Homo-oligomer: A and B are copies of this chain.
Amino acid sequence: MAEPLFERLCLVGIGLIGSSIARVARARGDIARTVVATTRRAETLARVRELDIVDLVEPDHTRAVQGADCVILCIPVGAYAPVMREIAPHLARGCILSDVGSTKGSVVRDLAPLLSQDVTLVPAHPMAGTEFSGPDAGFAELFQNRYCILTPLPGTDPAKVEKTAELWRRCGSMIETLDPATHDKVVAIVSHLPHLIAFTICGTADDLAQETREAVLKFAASGFRDFTRIAASDVEMWRDVFLNNRDALLEMLARFSEDAHALGRAVRWGEATFIEDRIRRGRKIRQGLIERKQA
């Protein structure tokens, strides 16, 4: 077995993603000598102890991060700023501060100003998840063959970036590097807008007259079921994602909306060729996904 990458890995937050990292670390043994989890909810704390997936459970964030050579924020992105204000003075010299958030511009915005010179920020976004949340939802295989995007700022110590990349490789992920702005645009269209649409269409269905609504629940066909699967996702996490990727999300919503209305107009006016063209493009991009083995 390889030497552990870290002496003390501190997971701030231990939900789906945090507990999956903990499980990989426990299973492999070569990620950290000690894994500490910190979370303020007493219930989650107790459950994590029961699950026995970390070496130490510590309710106090400031104590948890002390002496850690790697701290990963696994909490909703809206909580980064207040948590960072708490932990910043307690981060060890030489520590890598990373995270798993779905927005990266906001992470740099919220963490960088409070960063001391001897702590290195390496933001990360593992492109993996399920519609379930909490420490029971995690599993060691979650990151297998999924991309993990790193968005280090220019000038970041390459050794620290490489160490973070190696952590994710040991979790089974493929590493890519993007600047935060490009990352945020890409996830706005591949993930955030689909979630916004999914939450919305559920509400639209829920607003229908009682009779139709009952039938909707009964006859939910594959299209609607797929949409509602992601609509089961965590409330606080997605609220924070939307609010912290506002510009890119609103741009993608505007583009999508124009395109949906163009297709709606073609339906209204019976423009068969236009409709066929849109459907063919859908098939084409799907084919692109299959060729990349992401399907």
| Interface, chain A (partner B; CB < 8 A) | 127, 129-130, 147, 149, 176, 178, 182, 185-187, 189-208, 211-212, 215-233, 235-236, 238-239, 242-243, 246, 249-250, 252-253, 255-257, 259-261, 263-264, 267-268, 270, 272, 275-276, 278-289, 292, 294-295
Contact = CB atoms under 8 A, between A and B. Distances in A.
Nearest to A211: B182
Contact of A280 (B235, B253, B260, B268): B235
Given A231-B283, A267-B242, A272-B243, A204 B219 contact: no
A232 B282 contact: yes
A233 B186 CA distance: 24
Given A201-B193, A268-B246, A283 B235 contact: yes
Q: How many copies does the complex hold?
A: 2
A190 to B, nearest CB: 4
Contacts of A252: 204
State the majority secondary structure of interface residues on A.
helix
The 4 closest A-B pairs by CB, nearest first: A194-B223, A231-B282, A199-B282, A202-B282
A151 B201 CA distance: 26
Contact of A285 (B231, B246, B281, B288): B231
